[in-house]
Amino acid sequence: MEKKYNMSTPIEKLDLQSPDLVNDNFEKLAELFPNCVTESADGKAIDFDLLKQELSHAVVEGNKERYRLEWPGKREAIVTANLPTTKTLRPVREDSVDFDNTENLYIEGDNLEVLKLLQESYLGKVKMIYIDPPYNTGNDFVYRDNFDQESEEYSQESGQKDELRNRLVVNPELSGRFHSNWLSMIYPRIKLARNLLSDDGVIAVSIGTDEIKNTISILEEIFGEENYISIITWEQGRKNDSTFFSESVDYVVFFAKNKQLLAKQGVWREKKDGVESILDHFNKLKAKHEGDYELIESKMKEFYSGLSNSDARKKLKHFYRADERGLFFGADISSASTSIPDYEIYHPVTKKPVKKPSRGWGATEPVMLKKIEENRVLFGTDETTIPLKKSYLYEVDSIVKTPVIYKDGRAASRVILDLFGKAVFNNPKDHFVLSEFIEYATNSKDDFIVIDFFGGSSSTAHATLHLNSTDSGKRKFIVIQLPEPTDAKSLANKEGFHNIAEIGKERIRRAAKKIKEETQADIDYGFRVYRLDESNMQDVYYKPQDYSQDNLKLFEDNVKPDRTPDDLLAQIMLDWGLPLSLKVEQVTISGKKLFKVAGNSLYACFDQGIDEEFAKEIAADTPLRIVFRDSGFKNDTAKTNVKQLLKQLSPETEMKVI
């Protein structure tokens, strides 16, 4: 006799749409300032006048003039960033390379929608963002994100949207909203991108002279002026077609998510010739001898004496010591002038004032106390010896990177020519320079994520592969590119590349093959391709209240008929905040196909006839999450029993349906 269970609560459905950022912000404000929550004709709202007062020590009366970035359309741009989307990403296995094993992603589609979809899965997980957006020269395309005033038919016929309904328009200089259009396009994308960065993450934006000022202003507003790092001037070769000065420079603006936290990760420096091997040798000794710094010091001196580099030999005049931070020597701690105030420093053991240098201390008292606290001061055996400052090898054998780069822009074009045999893409970015940016910003070869949501010819992906091949790194890339059609008369189109995304994917394939042949490096050469599309679910899934009893047939299966289990899994992973790069296995249990994501992180089965026996088998694995189709159960009784069985046999499992 079939056992039945009582189900007190219905099975929860996945909402299958990006987070409602407006609602999230409302909840955060309501928690911080409950007295600012009021009611309006549309329900609960924030009393912004009262909120302004809560955030000010002075009485707020009316609008105040203040320093900030403004343009016509800014409020609409903020709304655009906050609006949720029900779109999804569909896997394209036939365009991918090593889909089941790779952790790299290539995503085709409008980057604004894609960034919304990535908000939960990649929140705080991206170490570096590099983008090369439209420079707004008056001839290039920009996205237009508000098209309510125009019909779809007119937009496509007039060339403002392509056949994939992407919102592309030329932004001519004579437009009355020339800068405003560009600002409205870039602002919501950078706003959303900031959420993806880790707390010690970095964003780098390539831009030309037309919008450099506005780029800095937007980054200051979104990231904060205090997180400004630098502006790199990239000289790419003189052009002799200008009236006054050669217009041959691009700029790369660097900002940090949290500059103070980033600074704690280490000094951004370039290694001098031969130093990398010295540091590598020191790290090997440190790992081998496990904290025996006297032995490490001795071994390092032996290593120095064997080097042919004359600079390295000269360093032997220093009395080197070692600690957990590296090899160091005691350097002069005195001031170069007589303007430093006089104060006492006490020996950490004898507690007596130490002997002072004749020229006074080389820092103010608060700075010196901080250095002592950080163990950057080397004391003698007692107070009779003048302390020294610790000068570490990485400080004296490296230099701060210059903010000026000289690299002929034609070199990047030659790379395209070498890979494709023809110039199928104009003005690509130099992947060697980008690899330097990535190495510089990540400061490690660990498995950081680098994202580029204006992917172009995939220079960023190429740079990541190149860098990984040089140091066996595990950095992963996410490239997002609109499938912008190539001109019908262009060389790219004639070569069979009908949109830019096709060029980008093919470049990664060819670059990966070339790097593997040349280096034989054991790295991830693959990438998973996803394509932005409308939701996998019928409209009835999101708005069942809009359908009457006459439409009961629509409720039988709310999944669109052309969608595959792979499609459904991708949307569920995004909705549940799981990275799309996670390992996915397919197994068969009781004749049904089961997807296993990252071990037991997520189980998903979209087959029909789900019953109690199937539930018992999967419960033995204690998955953290499991998803079924709402219409996939054998019957209503089975649906109830499966929920209760999982609750009993695997209480930690969270079950939902679509």
User: Is residue 479 a contact partner of residue 105, using CB atoms and an 8 Å limit?
Assistant: yes
* Angstrom distance (rounded) from CA 159 to CA 156: 5
Residue 148: the pLDDT is 39
pLDDT along the chain (658 residues), means of 10: 48 77 83 75 76 70 66 86 92 97 97 96 97 84 53 41 55 72 93 95 94 94 91 81 73 94 72 60 79 78 63 54 76 76 89 90 88 90 92 70 83 94 93 92 83 97 96 95 93 95 98 97 97 90 66 68 95 95 94 95 95 93 94 92 93 93
Whole-number pLDDT of residue 63: 61
423 phi/psi in degrees, rounded to 5: -80, 80
Place of tokens 């070339």: 514
Closest among 328, 340, 334 to 356, alpha carbons compared: 334
User: In this structure, are residues 602 and 626 in contact, taking their beta carbons and an 8 Å threshold?
Assistant: yes
Token reading at 249: 């420079």
Q: Which long-range contacts (CB under 8 A, 24 or more apart) does 631-637 make?
A: 631/556, 631/557, 631/558, 632/605, 632/606, 632/607, 632/608, 633/609, 634/609, 634/610, 637/2, 637/4
pLDDT at residue 1, as a whole number: 42
Sign for the CA dihedral angle at 435, 441, 447, 451 comes to: negative
Tokens encoding 290:
């496990």
Total number of residues shown for the chain: 658
Distance CA 398, CA 431 (A): 24
- The answer to whether 293 and 323 have CB atoms below 8 angstroms apart is yes
CB under 8 Å to 219, separation ≥6 — which residues? 190, 203, 205, 228, 253, 255
| DSSP string covering 263-324 | HTT---EEEPTTHHHHHHHHHHHHHHHTT-HHHHHHHHHHHHHT---HHHHHGGGS-EEEET
The CA–CA distances, whole Å, from 125 to 22, 71, 451, 577, 600 equal 22, 31, 10, 12, 21
What's the pLDDT at 173? Answer: 67
